[in-house]
Structure 1
Amino acid sequence: MLLSKLIHFVVLPPASLLIVALIGLALRRRSPRTGRFLFRGALVVLLALSTRIVGNFMLAPLENSAPPLTAQAASGAQAIVVLTSGVVMQSPEYGGDDAPDESALARMRYAARVQHDTGLPLLVTGGRIYSAQKQSLAANMASALRHDFRTDVKWVEEASVNTAENAAFSASILLPAGIKRIVLVTHAMHMQRAEQVFRSAGFEVVPAPTAYYSTGPFNAFQLLPSSSGLSASYYACYEWIGLAWYRLRH
């Protein structure tokens, strides 16, 4: 887990580009032309990635490959599987307990709607990503679904720490119970990678994507650097790299 986080830090922006810029500064005396190229190039790319128009451009192909769920597509499904996301630890408004973060809340809200519309049993999957967590991501999400969204959770898978393990460990619970066709809930940008590994685990997958970030009309503010622009680019890079890695490995 620690190695994985370190690799993410080194490979993904903005840290990766800042590292390149520092290398450029270190080379400015030994090789001025190369040093200037690396330093200026890294800053230009970082500036571009900080704009929402670039982030949306990178996210759009991922999200467009995952059309919204329809009632016809969900026909014949036997269960709903929702992937957990992040956590806000020791939330004071919840008495110091951990709480799902905004990314997890987007998945929970849509999973609750799908469950209410279909009546299908629901599984949440995700283990601990931080040693300081009081409980697994799945247990945390299941509790919020039950108490805040009035949504029943039948299965809680608490051992997985990545999408491939989400699929494998969910399969160990559902496939022996005769459940093969599932409605899969996750972010639209993440659906392509998630669907791939769940199919490889033996499921028939009905995608139920949520949280489309690249939609909506253009406005001039999308040309300006912003935290939301950098966040969109970060997650787009994360998904594109993850998709390439999973295709190679799985």
Structure 2
Amino acid sequence: MLDLLDAIPRALFLPPASLFLAIAIGLLLWRRWPRAGRIVAGTGLAALAFLSTNAGAGFFVRPLERMTAPLLAPERAGAQAIVVLAAGRLQQAPEYGGHDIPDYTGLARLRYAAHLQRRTALPLLVSGGDPSASAATAAGKPRYAMADAMATALRGDFGVPVRWTEDRSRTTAENAHFSAALLRRDGVRRVLLVTDAMHMARSREAFQRAGLEVVDAPTMFFGDQAKSLGAWVPSAEGMRRSWYAVYELLGLVWYRLRS
């Protein structure tokens, strides 16, 4: 319940909830102040249509992705380990015997981490806690963190060894804090950090604050793909990219305000 109450105000700042809220406010204003109501509702509707397209999302995605770059020579990066961050998960996947598995964003990160591990032979750390740990404990179920699901996928599906499993974190800042503590015990100071390109700037900042030297190892670049006429057609994927990009931009602003 506390997680739900924390998520509600955050969601209201992000599309599409914030845009539906603007439309609703405009409609409420319409009867008493018709012109103001039309402007507010119309602006919300236009923004909703624009941000539902991959082309519209690109206006927010590209600035984030330009804060990093593909890693072209991982063997020469001087890193001592690879760190891959959790994304989301699919709970109780029936085709995997009811076990949790990484979602498609998490799998993209894992695939790239496996690719890097084969090229560099560096030890690998997976980072991601269990947001529903308290509920699982109350129900008498075994704790199964996102890092556990990631390690299982890397070992079983990609044939890649995992040396460290960081299973306590719930945020990017906690990913950095708990991962750095594990790595420092083994003398690791410089890492290849694997996450998707939109998440990289905030992740890098968090890990640098935790005292690690970071080499960007981003995957999943979307910004330069929205160039066809079809990119202007509203879609669920367009809104997902807009939601994610706005979330990351607000996160960066919050990190820098706190610093």
- Within the candidate set 51, 54, 61, 2:53 is matched to 51
Q: Structure 2, unaligned stretches of length 5 or more?
A: 137-142
What does 1:61-210 correspond to in 2, within 5 Å?
Answer: 61-71=63-73, 74-130=76-132, 135-210=144-219
Match of 2:15 in 1: 13
Q: Relative to 1, partners in 2 of residues 1:164 and 1:217: Cα closer, same or farther, differing over 3 Å?
A: closer
**How far, CA to CA, are the matches of 1:95 and 1:213 in structure 2?**
33
Query: Structure 1 residue 156: deviation in Å?
Result: 0.5
Q: How does 1:222-237 map to 2 (within 5 A)?
A: 222-237=231-246
> d(CA) in 2 for partners of 1:69 and 1:238?
24
In the alignment, does 2:244 pair up with 1:238? Answer: no
Which region of structure 1 is more displaced relative to structure 2, 204-213 or 48-57?
A: 48-57
TM-score under structure 1 length normalisation: 0.95
Deviations, residues 70-104 of structure 1 (Å, cap 9, x unaligned): 32674321111100010011111111111111000
Q: Using the alignment, how far apart are the partners of 2:60 and 2:104 within structure 1?
A: 21
**Which 4+ stretches in 1 moved above 6 angstroms?**
none
Deviation at 1:231, TM superposition (A): 1.3
Whether the 8 Å CA contact 2:89–2:100 is kept in 1: the answer is yes
Counterpart residue identity of residue 173, structure 2: A
Structure 1: unaligned runs, 5 residues or longer: none
Q: Percent identity between the aligned chains?
A: 48
What CA distance in whole angstroms lies between the structure 2 residues aligned with 1:8 and 1:27?
Answer: 24
Give, as a single letter, the amino acid of the residue that structure 2 aligns with 1:147: G
2:182, 2:6 → 1: CA distance? 26
What count of residue pairs does the alignment treat as equivalent?
Answer: 250
Q: Is contact 1:74–1:206 with CA below 8 Å preserved after alignment?
A: no
The amino acid of 1:163's aligned partner reads: T
8 Å CA contact retained: 1:73, 1:206: no
Q: Which amino acid aligns with 1:186?
A: T
Deviates more, 1:148-157 or 1:59-68: 59-68
CA 1:119–1:73 in structure 2 vs 1: closer, same or farther (change >3 Å)? closer
Aligned AA for 1:121? P
User: Which residue of the partner structure matches residue 140 of structure 2?
Assistant: none
1:217–1:45 distance in 2 versus 1, CA, 3 Å: closer
Does the 8 A contact of 1:74 with 1:183 survive in 2?
no
* 1:8–1:241 Cα change, 3 Å: same
Distance in 2, Cα, partners of 1:110 & 1:119: 13
Q: Report the 3-state secondary structure (helix = DSSP H, G, I; strand = E; otherwise coil) of the residue aligned with 2:10.
A: helix
Specify the SS of the correspondent of 2:38: helix
